[in-house]
Amino acid sequence: MTEDSGAHWADAAPERVAELNAVKADETPEWIKGGMPPQPVTVTVGTQTFAVKKAQFLTAKIGWALLSGPADVDDLLAVSADGGQSWHAEVTSDIAAAVEAERKRMKRTEQEAVLYVSQDAAAKTVGSAWTLLPDKAAPGDVVLVRSNEPGEIDWEGKKYALQPFGAGYFTYIPLSMAIKPGKYPIGSESLTIVSKKFETQYLQVTKQLESMKQDSARIAADQKKIDLARSQSKPEFLFSKANFIQPIEGILTTPYGYTRYVNGKFDSSHRALDLAAKEGTPIKATNDGIVALADSLYLTGNTIYIDHGMGLFSQYAHLSKLMVKTGDEVKQGDIIGLVGTTGFSTGPHLHFTYWAHNVPVNPNLFFGTTPFHWNEPQQEQKPAQNTPTQKQDSKQ
Ligand SMILES: [Zn+2]
């Protein structure tokens, strides 16, 4: 799109039709401009009707028409900002405002469109009142919801406000581990939840390690820091169309969603991946973002949270070394720290997950794709990796 698309011709003197035609070079895709109205044969300006010599619509709304003037005057140029329903002999402030609004709308649409897998996918989504990315999910997953209108979504007892971005309004909705299979209406669409079985894992740790979980004052103090870091997220998607990456290769010792017992007592659902690797293995940022927290915490050891915008964070725990600090901007693939075994941990590994609005969600959904591609059938989904063979080797 040219810098002054739409505005250029409107500001030009009406008689300079040649200059106006330069707008034809505008590279905005046709679907963003909208369906072009039919070419007018005559147009009415005020109370007079004129024959049209030449006319062009630049978008579905904005157009100009060169008219045959009366015998004693030069040709006239008329402009329309409502798809040819009304025509005006000059660019009034209302028309200038309409042109500017249209220019902004096209820019916002282009900003969003680049995130989809193709122009067709973008056009389909922007043209729909509601889109669920994806429209089929399992307990512990996350869904990106898009609407053409602002509002909020009631989901499992919480409200999620749709945030403006591009030409639409978005929010992530995290799914609990306990959600029942079925169809759930969201806007004009329906989200299908399929059932998923999660394995149980029995972890044996030393009494000393086990007692760490009893220091509730330190745990609460850390939680305050974490909550503060995750309470603010940039109101835009901070990643581009590049696919999210797994931060280290590692060996999967605990998959996502395992029900975990520590020394025989129920502990939690392990809503993260544990990837075992040699101490000192470099850890990559999964995608672009801003470091929301890089700190030494009690249970998760040296820990990093990266804000990817719109309430989505990635988390990296038990590091031997932090190589970024809170507030740093990171690019996908940047080395942010090294694998370690700090905090509640039985050996060198990376505990990695994503958080959507303070709920941990399935990391496997992200690798090799982005939320904007989650409805694509060719989506590259990592198969479940090797399951732990020796359960007591599993890491927190
Ligand atoms: Zn873990």
Each residue's pLDDT tens digit, 143-167: 999 999 999 999 999 999 999 999 9
Q: What are 331-361's pLDDT values in tens digits?
A: 999 999 999 999 988 899 999 999 999 999 9
Q: What is the mean pLDDT of the chain?
A: 87
Least confident of 56-60, 89-93, 391-395: 391-395
What's the gap in Å between 250 CA and the centre of ligand 1? 13
The 10 Å Cβ neighbour count of residue 18 is 8
What's the gap in Å between 336 CA and the centre of ligand 1? 18
Least confident of 181-185, 227-231, 333-337, 384-388: 384-388
The Cα 245–Cα 143 span in angstroms is: 19
* Stretch 16-44: mean pLDDT: 71
Question: Taking the model in full, what pTM does it have?
Answer: 0.84
What's the gap in Å between 386 CA and the centre of ligand 1? 16
Q: Residue 55: is its pLDDT beyond 60?
A: yes
Query: Would you put residue 257 in left (φ > 0), alpha (ψ -120 to 50) or beta?
Result: left
Q: What pLDDT, on the 0 to 100 scale, is given for residue 315?
A: 98
Q: Residue 8: is its pLDDT beyond 50?
A: no
Bond before 29 cis per omega within 30 degrees = no
Q: Residue 380: is its pLDDT beyond 50?
A: no
Domains of the chain, CATH where assigned: 7-113 (no CATH), 128-193 (no CATH), 200-393 (2.70.70.10)
What's the gap in Å between 303 CA and the centre of ligand 1? 12
What's the gap in Å between 345 CA and the centre of ligand 1? 8
Identify which has the larger pLDDT, 21 or 263: 263
| 3-state SS class at 209 | helix
Q: What pLDDT, on the 0 to 100 scale, is given for residue 184?
A: 97
* Stretch 228-244: mean pLDDT: 93
What's the gap in Å between 281 CA and the centre of ligand 1? 17
Which residues, at least 6 apart from 96, have a Cβ–Cβ distance to it below 8 Å? 7, 10
Q: Residue 367 carries which DSSP code? A: B
Q: Which tokens hold the place of 204?
A: 């044996």
What's the gap in Å between 155 CA and the centre of ligand 1? 27
Q: What pLDDT, on the 0 to 100 scale, is given for residue 171?
A: 98
Q: What pLDDT, on the 0 to 100 scale, is given for residue 71?
A: 67
What's the gap in Å between 284 CA and the centre of ligand 1? 17
Percent of the chain with pLDDT over 70: 88
* Stretch 219-247: mean pLDDT: 93
Q: What are 267-297's pLDDT values in tens digits?
A: 888 999 999 999 999 999 999 999 999 999 9
Q: What pLDDT, on the 0 to 100 scale, is given for residue 378?
A: 55
Instruction: Please name the residue ranges forming H helices in the chain.
Output: 7-11, 17-21, 30-33, 93-113, 119-126, 207-212, 216-231
Q: What pLDDT, on the 0 to 100 scale, is given for residue 74?
A: 73
